[in-house]
Amino acid sequence: MTNSGKFKLERRLVLTIVLLPVAMVVIFVGDTVTDYAIAAAVFYTPVILVATRLLPAGTVVALAFACVALTLLSFALTHSGAYEVGIVNTGISIVAIGVTTYLSLKLVAAEAAAHESRERLLRMARITSLGELTASIAHEVNQPLAAIATSAGACRRWLAQEPPAIANAQRAADRIVEDANRASAVIARVRGLASGKAPHRERFDFNALVREVVALAGERGERSGITVRLSLQHDLPAILADRVQVGQVVGNLLLNAVEAIEAKTGGAKTLEIVSETEDGNRIRFSVIDSGAGFRQGELEHLFDAFWTTKKDGVGLGLTISRSIIEANGGRIWAETDKDGGAIARFSLPAGMGAIE
């Protein structure tokens, strides 16, 4: 609020406080000069209501006692009209003043409590949002940072050879630069997502993006003995979405599938990745794993923040994935595979025209 606004508010407050005694005097005079049949004292109740909004509770109670005292004094000074009617009207006025004072003070106290609760919830929401943002960034940059560490180790090994494998070391250094740029882009996009910034939508080849992500995650799958099957529709239309964000989602779903397969003992270790058109103007992406699938009740909470089935999980990967897909005009869901594994899917709008 500006200084001018504060001054006007203070001036209005002072004026109202000055007018309250004036109103009480006017009501007192009116109640006194009229006969017993006119219960002018009930007009003290608006005075109490106004005072409750402006004055402390103790002052309001004192004001209420003053109104009762003036009512009794007016009754004593009045000498016209039916006396019995005057007694009844005076009693009604005093009860009205007392009830109004009690209820108005209770209402103000309830409003103050509600306001305090709202402020507390707002502070909690800010703290929670900050925590979620921090955890989100930490979660999303973990993968490129791990890739940087791997490439750096490889680079050192190539350089330590006799003679040094300069070409291989150069390629490892290039991967470090690419992953560092990817981490920077991920941070920017996660911050933009948290602040409500619109995704940077562009048309791109979705199958090419999937192949890039699969290549990054392929080494881990090979170490775990997982057979990866790519079923990518060859004439898939271009996709219209934020390429970096969608790449994050694809990576999250693949990583979840690999971890689910690794956690299962025995049986086939297969991972099927499918891209296809949906309803002619959307593309659908599916990750089908041969893991243990979902237990009862897990599907209902799968996309809830900080809810996870993993021992060391954060419970944000799928929450972020849902936020990204929905921000790009799509939807994401999970199903139980008929063979017992899990299926994670999302669909996004297809972009029209050629890929730029």
Beta strands 239-241; 202-204: pairing state: antiparallel
- Asked whether residue 283 carries a pLDDT value surpassing 90, the answer given is yes
Give, as one character, the DSSP assignment of residue 350.
B
Q: What is the pLDDT of residue 284?
A: 94
pLDDT at 223: 72
Residue 354 pLDDT: 45
Place of tokens 């560490």: 149
Q: What is the pLDDT of residues 51-87, one digit of tens each?
A: 888 888 888 899 899 999 999 999 889 888 888 888 8
The sign one gets for the Cα dihedral 60, 65, 68, 69 is: negative
* C-alpha closest to that of 273 among 257, 291, 293: 257
Confidence of residue 186 (pLDDT cuts 50, 70, 90): confident
- 110-164 tens-digit pLDDT: 888 877 777 666 655 555 555 555 666 666 677 778 778 888 888 888 888 888 8
Percentage of the chain beyond pLDDT 90 is 17
Residue 134's pLDDT is what?
63
DSSP 200-211: --EEE-HHHHHH
CA nearest 43: which of 31, 55, 61, 35?
31
Q: pTM of the entire structure?
A: 0.51
Predicted confidence (pLDDT) per residue in 212-263, tens digit: 888 766 666 777 788 889 999 988 898 888 888 888 888 888 888 888 888 8
User: Which residue(s) pair with 342 in the sheet?
Assistant: 336
SS3 state of residue 338? coil
57: number of Cβ within 10 Å: 13
**Can you tell me the mean pLDDT for 189-208?**
76
Mean pLDDT of 22-44: 88
- Residue given tokens 């991967």 in the structure block: 175
Which sign does the torsion angle of CA 47, 49, 50, 53 carry? positive
* Token pair belonging to 127: 């703290």
Checking DSSP bridges between strand 227-232 and strand 270-278, what pairing results, if any?
Answer: parallel
Listed in sequence order, the residues at least 6 apart from 308 whose beta carbon sits closer than 8 Å to its beta carbon are 314, 315
Asked if pLDDT for residue 36 goes beyond 50, the answer is yes
Predicted local distance difference test score (pLDDT) of residue 275: 94
Say which DSSP state 238 is in.
Answer: P
Classify residue 335 as left (phi > 0), alpha (psi -120 to 50) or beta: beta
The type of residue at 345 is R
CB atoms closer than 10 angstroms to residue 356 = 8
Tokens 């993006």 locate to 209
| Helix, strand, coil shares, percent, the chain, to 5 | 65, 10, 25
